[in-house]
Chain A
Amino acid sequence: MTMKTRLLLKVAGCTGALLLALGVAGPAPALAEVRIDITKGVVEPLPIAITSFAGSGGREAQMGSDISKVVSADLERSGLFRPLDPKGFLQTPDQLRSGEPRYQDWRAVGAQALVAGNTTAMGDGRMKVDFRLWDVAGGQYMQGLSYTATADSWRRIAHIVADAIYKRLTGEEGYFDTRIVYVAESGPANARKKQLAIMDQDGENHQFLTDGQTLVLTPRFSPTAQEITYMSYFNKKPRVYLFNIDTGRQEVLGDFPGMTFAPRFSPDGNKVIMSMAQNGNTDIYALDLRTRRQTQLTDSPGIDTGPSFSPDGQRVVFESDRGGSQQLYVMNADGSGTKRLTFGEGRYGTPVWSPRGDLIAFTRQRGGSFALGVVRPDGTGERILTESFHVEGPTWAPNGRVISFFRDVPSGDGRGRSAKLYTIDVTGANERRVITPLDGSDPAWSPLIP
């Protein structure tokens, strides 16, 4: 069944080439498209009507209302959608429970897309949530899906619904059913308490994973989102650790004579790549988690750190000062075939390969400021997304469209700090705060939760 739609996000710029540059491959979305400008063009978000999900009982109705609010907030934060105020809606959720919507009523409120849903208690403690999506402009039904889960996971269901809508209307995978692990910070700058914390990507379900007694840095997710690798100063021995989120179990990774740091998982989850510093020299090593075998991948006399795998696991981008200053390099996963990637003015560090492979995010230090940017894996197309006194630590949403990072601002008297988490579109547009209970740094975005 093929249908045509007039749903379209209007953007500035030469979208054809830009879509290519973003790595959108394969068949175009069958019905609707959201075209995305990779430069900082003005994106006009798609007006979408998200009605309160209906439910028969009081509890079902409350949950339905809560779910639609989360769906709405997810889509709004993406910067690609503009959820309309439900107060103006002319049709009630009950009237949408069966049959076609009155499209003219939704056109009248300016909607181009319409979402309605239902929540039903299953009697066994589980909840069934279904939703339907219509193309208002084209007067067509687009999609309907149904999910069943325990009632206490209603937030996840909401994120999964938002992901389905996002995917249907943009043609790209969503990223709302994900979590962010980061370092929560508190206290004065010279005695900073740092603890691992985890939350949903929208800041909800926040919890601390460590108590702050031990300095911890740079957490990163495994591809299953069940484990985190990070650096800890436990017993004054700075080493890379593995943390199991479900069990809370922690273990040191590898048996290295020197400090290990800058860990990241391989895309298949079988290896952790990291740096070891010893006798003033820092090289990159891979640790096979099954055999526990350690392999040295670089042996330059300089600082080789910040390794990050390409999504196919074949290559590794890292930073090195072997050429005189911090720059990005790419090598094969076995350490062979090293090529320098950046030649720009300034220092380049913290490279992170996008999950869709098309870009590498980095931190650039030049003059008195720090900037976050992206560059293609062949070294072309370098762009800066945001620049300030101190920004650092980019991490990709699993669809490769959104980057999270932290920004550190000295307080007015210059003696304190304020580090906050943000997200920004890969275009450099739509920068948003991620609200956390304490200060935050070193965010790492999970893959879509399995």
Chain B
Amino acid sequence: MRIKYLSLIAAVALVAACESAPKDANTGANTGANQTSSIRPGSQEDLVVNVGDRVFFGFDRYDLAPEARATLDRQASWLKQYPNVTVTIEGHADERGTREYNLALGERRANSVKNYLVAGGINPSRVKVISYGKEKPAVLGSNEAAWAQNRRGVTVVD
């Protein structure tokens, strides 16, 4: 199960890497369609495939675009559906910033996500945040397409 989950994430990342503009990761839903029956409800895999686990930000921004808010609306509904699930929001930055500033920026982004979910009715005690700054890019590459994918907030089931 663990291995399958990891390979699915890799597939999503690969799909994302081929995109020229940021898109919600639930575009991976098609690639995972055959496995839908094996997805455990309320799991990370469920979130990735059926809801979308991440939102993207503009350069040096931490406000949520309409597309990001739509993803988070789905996440809030999903979290209400599985009241025992707790999550950690990972805030990330692209490589075009200094290390310490990007740690702070990632924390801002994670909190933007958290605040939106809390405003949507999720108990704040269910949502932790962590910032990785520019330390964990989702997509390799030093170009705008890669950077756009890396400026992200990712919701991870604890």
Interface residues of A (CB under 8 A from B): 188-190, 192, 194, 215, 217-218, 236, 238, 258-259, 261-262, 275, 277-282, 303, 305-306, 319, 321, 326, 347, 349-350, 363, 365, 389-390, 392-393, 408, 410, 414-416, 442
Interface residues of B in 65-117 (CB under 8 A from A): 88, 95-101, 103-105, 107-108, 111-112, 115
| Contact pick for A190, options B96, B112, B136, B142, CB 8 Å | B136
Cross-chain contact A416 with B140 (CB below 8 angstroms): yes
A321 to B62, CA, bound (A): 13
Cross-chain contact B131 with A306 (CB below 8 angstroms): no
A21 to B148, CA, bound (A): 43
Is B32 among interface residues, defined by CB-CB distance under 8 A? no
Cross-chain contact A238 with B131 (CB below 8 angstroms): yes
Cross-chain contact B100 with A305 (CB below 8 angstroms): yes
Please, which residues of chain A bring their CB within 8 A of the CB of B136? 190
A364 to B83, CA, bound (A): 46
Please, which residues of chain B bring their CB within 8 A of the CB of A259? 103, 107, 130-131
A442 to B133, CA, bound (A): 15
Cross-chain contact A280 with B108 (CB below 8 angstroms): yes
| Contact pick for A306, options B101, B111, B130, B139, CB 8 Å | B101
- Min CB distance, B112 to chain A, in Å? 7
A415 to B145, CA, bound (A): 12
Please, which residues of chain B bring their CB within 8 A of the CB of A363? 98
- CB 8 Å contact bits of B123-154 with A (1 = contact, 0 = none): 00000001110011111111100100000000
For the residues of A in contact with B, the DSSP-based class is: strand
| Contact pick for B100, options A215, A280, A349, CB 8 Å | A349
Q: A189-B140, A215-B135 are in contact. Are A280 and B101 (CB under 8 A)?
A: no
Interface residues of B (CB under 8 A from A): 62, 88, 95-101, 103-105, 107-108, 111-112, 115, 130-132, 135-143, 146
Please, which residues of chain B bring their CB within 8 A of the CB of A392? 98-99
- Min CB distance, B81 to chain A, in Å? 26
12 A-B residue pairs with Cβ-Cβ distance under 8 Å, sorted by A, are A190-B139, A217-B99, A238-B103, A261-B100, A261-B104, A275-B104, A280-B111, A280-B115, A282-B108, A347-B98, A410-B141, A415-B141
A217 to B138, CA, bound (A): 19
Cross-chain contact A236 with B130 (CB below 8 angstroms): yes
Which of A194, A261, A277 lies at the interface centre, i.e. has the most chain B CB atoms within 10 A of its CB? A277
Please, which residues of chain A bring their CB within 8 A of the CB of B141? 410, 414-415
Instruction: Please name the 7 residue pairs, one residue from A and one from B, whose CB atoms are nearest each other, closest first.
Output: A280-B111, A277-B107, A349-B98, A410-B142, A282-B104, A415-B140, A303-B104
A408 to B130, CA, bound (A): 25
- Min CB distance, A237 to chain B, in Å? 8
- Min CB distance, A99 to chain B, in Å? 57
A390 to B95, CA, bound (A): 9
Cross-chain contact B131 with A277 (CB below 8 angstroms): yes
Please, which residues of chain A bring their CB within 8 A of the CB of B99? 217-218, 350, 392-393, 442
Please, which residues of chain B bring their CB within 8 A of the CB of A218? 99-100
Cross-chain contact A350 with B100 (CB below 8 angstroms): yes
Please, which residues of chain A bring their CB within 8 A of the CB of B142? 389, 410, 414
- Taking A303-B105, A365-B96, A390-B95 as known contacts, 7 extra A-B pairs with beta carbons closer than 8 A to each other, sorted by chain A number, are A277-B131, A280-B107, A305-B100, A321-B101, A350-B98, A414-B141, A414-B146
Cross-chain contact B62 with A305 (CB below 8 angstroms): no
A214 to B138, CA, bound (A): 18
- Min CB distance, A275 to chain B, in Å? 7
A85 to B138, CA, bound (A): 52
Cross-chain contact A349 with B130 (CB below 8 angstroms): no
Cross-chain contact A262 with B130 (CB below 8 angstroms): no
Please, which residues of chain A bring their CB within 8 A of the CB of B108? 277, 280-282, 303
Cross-chain contact A280 with B98 (CB below 8 angstroms): no
Cross-chain contact B107 with A365 (CB below 8 angstroms): no
Please, which residues of chain B bring their CB within 8 A of the CB of A350? 98-100
Please, which residues of chain B bring their CB within 8 A of the CB of A188? 140
- Min CB distance, A195 to chain B, in Å? 14
A321 to B140, CA, bound (A): 28
Which of B95, B99, B104, B111 lies at the interface centre, i.e. has the most chain A CB atoms within 10 A of its CB? B104
- Min CB distance, A12 to chain B, in Å? 33
Please, which residues of chain B bring their CB within 8 A of the CB of A305? 100-101, 103-104
